[in-house]
Chain A
Amino acid sequence: MRVVIAEDHALLRDGLTRLLEAFDFDVVATVDDGPSLLPALLANKPDVAVVDVRLPPTFTDEGLQGAIAARTQVPGLPILVLSQHVEPLYARELLSDRRGGVGYLLKDRVSNVAQFVDAVHQVAGGGTVMDPEVVARLLDRSRPLDVLTVREREVLGEMAAGRSNAAIATRLFVTEKAVSKHINNIFSKLGLPPSDDDNRRVLAVLAYLNA
């Protein structure tokens, strides 16, 4: 699987490269600043890109902007965004094109290698992976997704974190069948049109972020 990495910190860039190569990814390009990100993504059309939010020269959110710009030109280009801090605001912007293949994780998560590699695979496969901290902050709010039951909100949170039905079932100690029933309820309560499964999941998460 072909990967592009954008990270300005040499230590972290080499670390990520080494880590992904150890799991049979093919790192086709690495970039260390904002301006070279978009050309690298467009030229290589990788199966997945791992991008740091903050890059030179402005050290603001060039990575995020680059990722969004690339996805406008190549719709659905799978990108996993890493950052030292997570903001629901950024998550919303990443998801706003309503396509899957997006991930948004704290850099810390890299240290749990198995989970991180799993997240990269999910994003490459068109899934959506949100950092547990984004999800936790959203769950913490009292604002309404009132139409949903407590259980349904839990399931939605797990979905936002990018988990499959089977994984959600294990975590919540219910059957997979029960999970898909909850998910169908969520889709119908949020008024999401029938379409392919991944896309509906993204829309549900987006509804969650906008609530």
Chain B
Amino acid sequence: METRDWVREGLRATAGGVLAIALSITNIPLFVLFVLALVLTPVLGLGLVLLPLVTALVRARADLSRRLAAGFGVPIARPYRPRPEQARLGGWRRYRWIITDPATWRDFGWLLPGAVIGLVLGVLSLALPLYGVEGIVLLPLWIWLATDSYGYGAIWPIESVGDAFLSLPQGALILGIGLAAAPYLRRVDALFAHLLLGPTRNAELRLRVTQLTVTRADTVDAQAAELRRIERDLHDGAQARLVSLGMTIGLAEEMVDRDPDKARELLAEAREASSTALVELRHLVRGIHPPVLAERGLDGAVRALALNLRIPTNVESDVTGRLETPVESAAYFAVAEALTNATVHSGATFAYVTLHRDGDVLRMEVGDDGQGGADPGRGTGLRGIQRRLAAFDGTMALSSPPGGPTIVTMELPCVLSSPRTMLSSGTD
């Protein structure tokens, strides 16, 4: 079993080497084109069009190397700055976006050395196994020819049948070494690519800031909208009802002596009004932070939710204990929204939820047997989930082919990336 894995890895790495050789060769025309585009910039402004096109090619090529490297255990993030809006092809804005991005120049700097390293390592990872195979396969030939004209491995030239037989173990050894070495050669290639194709610490931080800015704006917007909704609900609902309640009771007080029957009627009315106000408040509270979530945590709240749905819903969960309150809340509302979609829009007869905690990541899956065809582009529900989760660096993926089934997969880091700092230092 061990050996088979090892051989498979070796073969995969050798294939990767072949791919790297082919890709490396394309670096040379890309390099020439890039220089040409730079040189032609002053000439009729041709570079304004040419450079963005060539850069797109270079970036596509670099992306291939990034994917190849990821396949051998060295993930490389894309370092490019996002394209500014209204940066049309041939425009100055587009050109400036490209030439001011350090990643463009790092790509450029990588093209030639990357090609050389890719070629050398690729050829090396291919040549060793091939030479080994030659030793094994060509053995019968030596037996027949047994001439002094050729040799193999350490024996040069082969002078006898005995010498010829020695090429077999040598070949096997060299093949073994070649296969064993190939993954390491791939890794070296990938590490070199990482050096120049990965984001610098600076670029990494910039990407993170961009992402945080977007999610923070989304969160702030969503929160403001939520507060506005709560304010309006309270104002039009409970508050108004309490005012009218006070009036009704006041009226009843006036009536007690003059018209006791009317007073009793008014009091009954007041009681009804208080019930209605409570119903409204309960709905509002459920929307802010469901009491059952506060009482039972994510696991219990999702189970309680499932019992309230119109269709049978199976809940499987290994999430025990309590998560951080904001995470718990985000997870609950994401699951609730996904379940609402399942029960309302899909025509499903069955739904399920699985909650699984995998170290610091909470994985949630909501599925149904409905007609599928859900599209995050339409409707605000799925977009809302995405936004809610993004605030915690969480993600959502949707699979909903026409005809179903629909599966929403969500991931949420359980540990807040920025633990709140303690306000009191403990000295007082």
A: residues with CB less than 8 A from B are: 53-54, 59-61, 84-85, 87-90, 92, 106-108, 111-112, 137, 140-143, 209
Q: Are A88 and B308 in contact, CB atoms less than 8 angstroms apart?
A: yes
Assess A61 versus B271: contact at CB under 8 Å? Given A88-B307, A137-B308, A142-B310. Answer: no
**Once the chains bind, are A54 and B295 in contact (CB under 8 Å)?**
yes
Q: Can you list 30 A-B pairs, Cβ within 8 angstroms, ordered by A? A: A53-B295, A54-B295, A59-B294, A60-B296, A61-B295, A84-B282, A84-B285, A85-B285, A85-B286, A85-B291, A85-B292, A87-B292, A87-B304, A87-B307, A87-B308, A88-B308, A89-B292, A89-B303, A89-B304, A89-B307, A90-B304, A106-B278, A107-B278, A108-B274, A137-B308, A141-B310, A141-B311, A142-B310, A142-B311, A143-B310
Residue B239, interface by CB 8 Å? no
A89 and B295 form a contact (CB under 8 A): no
Output the nearest chain A residue to B304 by Cβ-Cβ distance. A89
CB-CB < 8 A to B271: which residues of A? 111-112
List A contacts of B274 (CB < 8 A).
108, 111
Given contacts A85-B285, A85-B286, A90-B304, 15 further A-B contacts (CB under 8 A): A54-B295, A60-B294, A85-B282, A85-B291, A87-B292, A87-B304, A88-B307, A89-B300, A89-B304, A108-B274, A108-B275, A111-B275, A140-B310, A141-B310, A143-B311
Contact B291 A84 (CB under 8 A): yes
Interface size class of B (residues with CB under 8 A): 20 to 34
Which among B278, B300, B308 has the greatest number of chain A C-beta atoms within 10 A? B308
Q: How far is the CB of B253 from chain A (nearest CB, A)?
A: 18
- Closest A residue to B279 by beta carbon equals A108
| B294 / chain A contacts, CB cutoff of 8 Å | 59-60
Is B169 interfacial (CB-CB < 8 Å)? no
Report how far A64 CA is from B296 CA in the complex, Å: 12
Pair B291/A88 contact, Cβ less than 8 Å:
no
Q: Check: B312 CB closer than 8 A to any chain A CB.
A: yes
**Please, which residues of chain A bring their CB within 8 A of the CB of B279?**
108
B416 at the A/B interface (Cβ < 8 Å)? no
> Which residue of the partner chain, among A60, A88, A111, contacts B304 with CB atoms under 8 Å?
A88
Contact among B282, B295, B308, B309 with A60 in the assembled complex (CB-CB below 8 Å)? B295
B334 CB to closest chain A CB, in angstroms?
20
Q: Which residue of A lies closest to B312 (CB)?
A: A143
B contact residues around A112 at 8 Å (CB):
271
Docked Cα-Cα span, A60 to B290, in Å, equals 12
Q: Provide the bound-state CA to CA distance between A54 and B308, in Å.
A: 21
Within 8 Å CB of B312, what residues of A? 143
Per the 8 Å Cβ criterion, residues 175-196 of B in contact with A are none
Chain A residues with CB below 8 A from B295, complex form:
53-54, 60-61
Complexed CA–CA distance, A88 and B282 (Å): 16
Interface residues of B in 224-256 (CB under 8 A from A): none
The residue of chain A having its C-beta at the shortest distance from the C-beta of B274 within the complex is A111
For the complex of A and B, the 4 pairs showing the least CB-CB separation, nearest first, are A89-B304, A60-B295, A61-B295, A88-B307
Contacts of A61 in B (CB 8 A): 295-296
Kindly state the separation between the CA atoms of A105 and B312 in the bound complex, as whole angstroms: 25
User: Interface readout for B259-288 with A: 1 if CB under 8 Å, 0 if not?
Assistant: 000000000000100110011001001100
Task: For residue B213, give the distance in angstroms from its CB to the closest CB of chain A.
Answer: 37
Q: Shortest distance in angstroms between B250's beta carbon and chain A's nearest beta carbon?
A: 18
Which chain B residue lies CB-closest to A141? B310
> Within the complex, what minimum Cβ distance (angstroms) separates A41 from chain B?
20
Complex interface: chain B residues within 8 A of A137 (CB): 308
**Distance of A31 Cα from B225 Cα, bound (Å):** 41
The closest CB in chain B to the CB of A85 belongs to: B291
Distance in Å from the Cβ of A52 to the closest Cβ of chain B? 12
Inter-chain contacts of A143 with B (CB < 8 A) = 310-312
How far, in Å, is B271 (CB) from chain A's closest CB?
A: 5
Question: C-beta contact mask, B62-83 vs A, less than 8 Å → 1, else 0?
Answer: 0000000000000000000000
B106-145 interface bits toward A, Cβ cutoff 8 Å, 1 = contact, 0 = none:
0000000000000000000000000000000000000000
Set of chain B residues within 8 Å of A87, measured between Cβ atoms: 292, 304, 307-308
Beta-carbon contacts of B292-319 to A below 8 Å, as 1s and 0s? 1011100010011001111110000000
* Chain B hits for A111, CB < 8 A: 271, 274-275
Report which residue of A54, A92, A111 has the largest number of chain B beta carbons within 10 angstroms of its beta carbon.
Answer: A111
Mark B373-394 against chain A: 1 for CB-CB distance below 8 A, else 0.
0000000000000000000000
Residues of A close to B291: CB separation below 8 A: 54, 84-85
Tell me how far the C-beta of A110 lies from the nearest C-beta in chain B, rounded to whole angstroms: 10
CA distance A142 to B285 in the complex (A): 26
> Contact at A108–B308, with CB atoms within 8 Å?
no
Q: How far is the CB of B306 from chain A (nearest CB, A)?
A: 9
Complex Cα distance A82/B292, Å?
14
Q: Counting chain B CB atoms within 10 Å of each CB, which of A89, A111, A142 scores highest? A: A89
C-alpha spacing A49/B344, complex, angstroms: 40
Alpha-carbon gap, A111 to B279, bound state (A): 13
A141 and B309 in contact, given A84-B282, A85-B286 (Cβ under 8 angstroms): yes
